[in-house]
Amino acid sequence: MPRRSTPALLLAALLAAVVVTAAAVPSALAAPKGKPGVTPPGVPPGQPFQALQKEIDGLTTQVQALQATAPQPGLMWINPLELTLGFSSTSTAVLDLVGSGTQQGLVVTSTGLTADVLQTGLQVPLGFAITGVRVCYASGATGSFVNAAQLVEFTVPPTLPGATPLNDVLSSPGNATITCVDTTSAVSVDPSAGGPVYLSLGLTFTANEALVIRGVGLHLSPVSHP
C-alpha cells in the first residue's frame, strides 16, 4: 500500500475536524436550558434582561386571557308578567296569551283618564350594577303610554323612605305605537352594596283603553371595586 504524503494527511485531518464541528453546531444553536431558579428555559444564564422580558411576556398573555373572559356590560331582560299594579289602582292587568293573542304581553286596561303604577322587585347578578331601564310596549289607541321609570333602593335593614337613584320622565310615542324607550339619567345602582331595589313604571291613560307591556330590560355594568 502506498504511503500518503504529509499534505494529504493534513488535508484529511482538516476535513475530519470540519465534520466534527458541523455536527456540533446544531446542539450549540439549540435553545439554552437556562439555570434552574435563576433564568427560565430558553434564556441563557447571565442574561437577566432577557429573563425579565420573558416573565413580562408571560404575564401579559395571562392578563389578556383574563380580560377576554371578564364580565361585560349588557341588557338583561326581566319578566314583565311579574309587574303588579299599586294597591290603590283602579286599572286591571291581565296576561294575554303570548304568541297567539292580539295583544301579546301584560295588558293593562284603565277605567278612564287617569294615572297608574306598575311595580316589581329586581334581582341582578352579583357584581353588576343597574345603569338604566328599557321598556318596550304598545301604546293605547288614543295615546295612553308609559310616562316614567323609577328605581327605589332601600337600605339594609329596609327602612323608609328609600333612596331614589332614578326617576326619569318618558315621552309619549303617539297613538297605537309599538316602541322601546330607554332612561337617560346617569345612574349606577348596586343592590349587593346598597340594598333591595324596586322598579316602578308610571302609566298615563288618556281614555278607557289598554296599553301592553311587551318587555322590560335592565342595563347592567360590572361593578368596579377600588
Domain extent for 116: 75-222
Q: Which residue has the higher pLDDT, 202 or 8?
A: 202
Residues 98 and 158 grouped into a single domain: yes
Name residue 180's amino acid. Answer: C
Q: What is the pLDDT of residues 178-189, one digit of tens each?
A: 999 999 999 999
What local confidence, expressed as pLDDT, does residue 29 receive?
Answer: 47
**Confidence check: pLDDT of 25 > 60:** no
Residues 181 and 91 grouped into a single domain: yes
Of 68, 102, 122, the last residue of a domain is 68
What local confidence, expressed as pLDDT, does residue 224 receive?
Answer: 77
Give the whole-number percent of the chain exceeding pLDDT 70. Answer: 74
CA dist 91 and 109 (Å) reads 6
What ranges make up the beta strands (E) of the chain? 74-78, 84-85, 92-96, 105-109, 114-122, 128-138, 145-153, 163-169, 178-182, 197-205, 210-222
Pick from 6-15, 79-88, 200-209: least confident: 6-15
Contacts of 43 by beta carbon, 8 Å cutoff, 6+ apart: 32, 34, 50, 51, 54
* β partners of residue 129: 221
Residues 193 and 106 grouped into a single domain: yes
CA dist 170 and 135 (Å) reads 10
| Residue 1 within a domain | no
What pTM value is reported for the model?
A: 0.69
Task: Please count the structural domains in the chain.
Answer: 2
What local confidence, expressed as pLDDT, does residue 170 receive?
Answer: 97
Instruction: Please tell me whether residue 79 adopts helix, strand or coil conformation.
Output: coil
Residues 192 and 81 grouped into a single domain: yes
Highest mean pLDDT among 98-102, 116-120, 190-194, 221-225: 116-120
**Confidence check: pLDDT of 28 > 50:** no
CA dist 201 and 146 (Å) reads 7
C-alpha cell, 50: 432577557
Banded model confidence at residue 85, pLDDT cuts 50, 70, 90: very high
Helical spans, DSSP H, in 30-108: 48-68
CA dist 202 and 205 (Å) reads 10
Banded model confidence at residue 71, pLDDT cuts 50, 70, 90: confident
Q: Which residue has the higher pLDDT, 34 or 186?
A: 186
Structural contact between residues 85 and 93, judged by C-beta atoms closer than 8 angstroms: yes
| Residue 86 within a domain | yes
Structural contact between residues 197 and 189, judged by C-beta atoms closer than 8 angstroms: yes
Residues 128 and 81 grouped into a single domain: yes
What local confidence, expressed as pLDDT, does residue 133 receive?
Answer: 98
Of 68, 85, 103, the last residue of a domain is 68
What local confidence, expressed as pLDDT, does residue 135 receive?
Answer: 98
What local confidence, expressed as pLDDT, does residue 95 receive?
Answer: 78
In the chain, the N- to C-terminal Cα span, in Å, equals 91
CA dist 197 and 220 (Å) reads 14
What local confidence, expressed as pLDDT, does residue 59 receive?
Answer: 84
In the predicted model, what is the mean pLDDT of residues 149-160?
89
Identify the CATH number of the domain in which residue 103 sits: 2.60.120.260
| Residue 150 within a domain | yes
What local confidence, expressed as pLDDT, does residue 20 receive?
Answer: 46
Helical spans, DSSP H, in 30-113: 48-68
